[in-house]
Structure 1
Amino acid sequence: MLPSTDAIAQLRDAVAAAPPGHGLRWTGEASWHFTLAFMGEVQDDHLPELHARLARAAAHTAPFPLRLHGSGHFGRRALWIGAAGGLDALRMLAERADAAARRAGIPMEQHRRYTPHLTLARARDDAADLRPCLDALSGFEGTPWQVDTLSLVRSHLPVSGVAGEQPRYEVVDAWPLTGH
Structure 2
Amino acid sequence: MRLFAAVVPPEDALDELARAVDQLHAEPGARRLRWTGRPGWHYTLAFMGEVEDRLLPELHARLERAARHSEPFRLRMHGGGRFDGRVLWVGAAGDLDGIRLLAERTEAAARRAGVSMEQHRRYTAHLTLARSRYDADLRPYVAQLSAFEGEAWTVDELALVRSNLPGGGQPGEQPRYEIVEAWPLGR
Among the aligned pairs, what percent are the same residue?
63
- Give TM-score, length-normalised by structure 2: 0.92
Q: Which residue number in structure 2 is paired with residue 69 of structure 1? A: 78
In 2, the alpha carbon distance for the partners of 1:110 and 1:15 equals 28
| Residue 102 (structure 2) aligned to one of 93, 99, 105 | 93
Q: Which residue number in structure 2 is paired with residue 10 of structure 1? A: 16
In 2, the alpha carbon distance for the partners of 1:122 and 1:66 equals 24
Runs (4 or more) in structure 1 with deviation over 4 Å come to none
Alpha-carbon distance, 1:74 to partner: 0.8
Q: Which residue number in structure 2 is paired with residue 151 of structure 1? A: 159
1:172 alignment partner, SS class: strand
In 1, the alpha carbon distance for the partners of 2:94 and 2:70 equals 15
In 2, the alpha carbon distance for the partners of 1:53 and 1:120 equals 30
Any stretches of 5+ residues in structure 2 without a counterpart?
1-6
2:49 alignment partner, SS class: coil
Q: Which residue number in structure 2 is paired with residue 174 of structure 1? A: 182
| Residue 142 (structure 2) aligned to one of 113, 128, 134 | 134
- Structure 2 counterpart of 1:4, which letter? P
Q: How many residues align?
A: 178
Alpha-carbon distance, 1:75 to partner: 1.2
In 2, the alpha carbon distance for the partners of 1:5 and 1:115 equals 22
Preserved CA contact (<8 Å) 1:23 1:124: no
In 1, the alpha carbon distance for the partners of 2:60 and 2:139 equals 41
1:84 alignment partner, SS class: strand
2:103 alignment partner, SS class: helix
Q: Which residue number in structure 1 is paired with residue 173 of structure 2? A: 165
Preserved CA contact (<8 Å) 2:47 2:119: no
In the alignment, does 2:78 pair up with 1:106? no
- Give TM-score, length-normalised by structure 1: 0.95
- Structure 2 counterpart of 1:64, which letter? F
| Residue 28 (structure 1) aligned to one of 32, 37, 46 | 37
